[in-house]
Structure 1
Amino acid sequence: MKGHCLCGRIAIGCIDHTDVSVCHCSMCRRWGGGPFFSIESKAIEIEGEKDIAHYRSSQWAERGFCQHCGTHLYYRLQTGGFYAVSAGLFQDAANLRLHSQIFIDKKPDYYALANKTPTMTEAQVMEMFKNWDGS
């Protein structure tokens, strides 16, 4: 799959995935105005990397965005090569399906997704990444 930012300066390619994950944490909602829909990958290719700006949003991760048009590109961990790439970049992707939701206990009451998916709370996510080494 290959997607690009609004202005086209940055293109991101990753292996075809069908699973879309959703994060309801307050930081993702503040960053994008709603939940963050992403495709998780450990192997991506980036064209136009010089046009990406990063914001270190925690001790373990940063968020990448196009410094020209502001498109949200990805959330990535500092170690291990994990990327959560914005699903919206892949406009022509077929067969995508909502696979999971995290920080479900932080989702505000003003929206609800109809899809029934596995969910994880903030505590469960933090426990999962507590000893993350990237392998």
Structure 2
Amino acid sequence: MPSIEYEGSCVCGQTSYTAFDLNDISYCHCEQCRKMTGHFMAASQVSRENIKIKGKIKWFYTHEGSRHGFCDNCGANMFWQNDNKPTISVTAGSIDDSKELRTWHHIFTEEKGCYYNINPKEPQSEGYGNSKIDE
């Protein structure tokens, strides 16, 4: 199966990336992600070897080993990574054309905001654990 190329950028265009073989979209409802984004985080994970980032990124550690990456100019939240894992996540909204990407799962659902609902037919878990479908 051929690799699918994805491109993305921030609001001002100063920071951009090209990535191959993005995973489907994960939605993280943890309190940290909600405070960082103003809602829940929607992101796609990719192997660090499959992404090339152009521009200057400002990294902010939310806790040991976990950091968010922002465009140094406009402040757009574009990346998340755990320093101990070989992947990086790109925010779904920064992807120029999401082509074939679909919902993978919702994580940290026990921390979700009370002002919205999650589709009960989509895979969910209360932490990083195995996803489940509530029926």
Q: TM-score range by the shorter chain?
A: 0.7 to 0.9
2:99 is aligned, of 91, 94, 103, to 94
Count of matched residue pairs = 123
Distance 1:83 1:63, change over 3 A: same
In the alignment, what sits opposite 1:8? 13
Counterpart amino acid of residue 107 in structure 1:
K
CA distance in structure 2 between the aligned counterparts of 1:56 and 1:18, rounded to whole angstroms: 23
2:54 is aligned, of 23, 27, 47, to 47
Q: Percent identity?
A: 28
If the length of structure 2 is used for normalisation, what is the TM-score?
A: 0.83
Give 1:28-67 correspondences, 5 Å limit.
28-43=33-48, 44-48=51-55, 51-67=56-72
Tell whether 2:89 aligns with 1:81.
no
Counterpart amino acid of residue 121 in structure 1:
E
Point out where structure 1 has 5 or more consecutive residues left out of the alignment: 129-135
Point out where structure 2 has 5 or more consecutive residues left out of the alignment: 1-5, 131-135
If the length of structure 1 is used for normalisation, what is the TM-score?
A: 0.83
In the alignment, what sits opposite 1:23? 28
Counterpart amino acid of residue 45 in structure 1:
K
